Amino acid sequence: MFFRSTHSDTNGRSPVLAQGLVVLGTLLLCLAMLEVGLRVTGRYRIGSLGGFFAPGGASYRLKANTTKRIEWPSVTFTVYTDDHGFRYKQSGPRPLGARPYYAVLGSSEVFGNGLDYEQTFIGVLSGQLERDRIEVVNMAVGGQHLLEQISLFEAYESSATSQPQKVIVVLNPLFIGNYDDIQPDTFVKMGQLLPKENWRLPLAKTILADQSADYRFFRDAIRNAQAKYFPRKDYDLSFYLERYSKSHPIRTTEKTNDFLRQMKDFELRVRGLGATPVCVYAPTVGGFLLNELKAKGKLDGSLFDTEFFVNLAQRHCVAEGIQFVNLEPMLQKMYDRGEKLNFDGDAHFNGPTSRAIGEYLYEALKPRGAASSN
């Protein structure tokens, strides 16, 4: 004699499974409605798939002719690149050579992390120099160091139809301290810069962020809760203690001399192109805080030295007869006045600081006889 199980419906399906399917279907329908609603209302604009990096140079570079909207926890900005693969105010063709131009090399603060192009200090400098019929070409790529930027410049100038009037290298403690780092542990996939190991999950997250308004909605809700209940520090002091440490490898005679040799060789190449090399020193906000804590007796000042990098750059420029522009005194005054120099939760220069830097650079780099920006 056969008995039908009390745990199955007439089709042999478990009620629990059927209920689960109903719940799952309802959940998927709600997510679909939320996705449509978020897009229709314009709360989240779906961007292009992939990032703005490409393989090239010693490690990586920027894609040419690209537009990419970037959304970070505290800032949103758009990156445009021209047909040379340099950040600019718009994407597409950009003929260089019709008038003089300055080329600028550097890292993320020069690239302008967190800001639209016109708000970056290169964008501000460019706007000022346009009155003098001079263009600015921003060759900086976030995360890069000296040798990577030199490789990128050399690849460009070897095929360029015209050469820059000035080549400006913006040095900071990270750019100098890891001058020979070409980041062998990263690679580019779908325009994203990823670790060579365990890259799949980071890539999946970026794809979701590009294509799913639902993902961004829940991601932002979590971020807002974290910001409210677990405030994020602007930067990790231990990172800057390591960078400014008196035991950092760059302070060895061998490393220091090699850095100086790389700078001299590059500047010799620049002069060979008929261009003028210029050095700009950009301090870190973390360095200002280290000095403040040292003065208050809250940090052991014998462990670090924030003056090493600026002194190294200045001595080099004096020895080689190169114009040296030091941003530290101007930014120190702003810091001492209590002005916030960086973003919340991010150590990069914010908009007001970048504007002040751009205007300061114009006064230092403008052609002879040009009017003041003030």
Counting residues of the chain whose pLDDT is more than 70, the rounded percentage is: 92
Mean pLDDT, rounded, for 247-271: 98
For residue 2, pLDDT over 50 is answered with no
Question: Looking at 28-32, 95-99, 161-165, 249-253, which range is the least confident one?
Answer: 28-32
Q: Which CATH superfamily is domain 53-197+233-365 in?
A: SGNH hydrolase (3.40.50.1110)
pLDDT tens per residue across span 296-340: 999 999 999 999 999 999 999 999 999 999 999 999 999 999 999
Q: Give the per-residue pLDDT at 48.
A: 72
Kindly list the domain boundaries of the chain, sorted by start residue.
15-47+198-229, 53-197+233-365
d(CA 284, CA 298): 19
Please tell me whether residue 348 adopts helix, strand or coil conformation: coil
Residue whose pair of structure tokens reads 């800032």 in the numeric block: 75
Q: What is the pTM of this model?
A: 0.88
Do the beta carbons of residue 281 and residue 324 sit within 8 Å? Answer: yes
